[in-house]
Structures are given as structure tokens and as C-alpha cells.
Amino acid sequence: MPKFEECLQRLEKIVQELEKGDVPLEQSLTLFEEGMQLSSSCRKELEQAEGKVEILLKKNGKLQAEPLEPRAEKSPVRS
């Protein structure tokens, strides 16, 4: 799985390509699909990072990493 920064850079390139408007429809759809997958991947990484930060803060500043437990309830996705 690509790293967050790589995903973000690729996503930015896809957006630039689509914004130009000179990409054929078939390629636009392929780029859009790839962009959605990258966006989902980035979102998951951010949620995991957020969870780790919350765990660290709950430890009263003691930097002790713990495995992230997935949340049972999901808050609505922010767009």
C-alpha cells in the first residue's frame, strides 16, 4: 500500500488532469475511479493517525503507543 504522501501527490495529479478538461471520457472515468480509491486510502490513514493521537493524549502525555482499536460506531464522513 502506498504511503500517505504518495497517495496525496498522486491524487493531486489526478485532480489537475481532470481539471484540464482535455482528457478523453474513458480516461477521465479511470482517473476518477483511481482518485476515489486513493481518497479512501488517505481517509483511512488519517483516521488511524487521529486514533493514535487520541490514545497518546489519554495517556497524559506519556508517549506509549498502543494498537488502535477500531471504533464500533462510526461518525458520519466529513466531506
CATH of the domain at 26: 1.10.287
Q: Quick check: is 16 in a domain?
A: yes
Q: What is the pLDDT of residues 13-35, one digit of tens each?
A: 999 999 998 889 999 999 999 99
Helices (H), 1-79: 4-20, 25-58
| Nearest residue to 70 via CA among 45, 51, 54, 53 | 51
Q: Quick check: is 20 in a domain?
A: yes
Domain that holds residue 24: 4-58
- Measured CA to CA, the distance from residue 77 to residue 59 in angstroms comes to 27
By mean pLDDT, which of 24-28, 41-45, 64-68, 71-75 is the weakest?
71-75
Q: Quick check: is 72 in a domain?
A: no
Whole-prediction pTM? 0.61
Q: Quick check: is 33 in a domain?
A: yes
Domain count, the chain: 1
Q: Quick check: is 31 in a domain?
A: yes
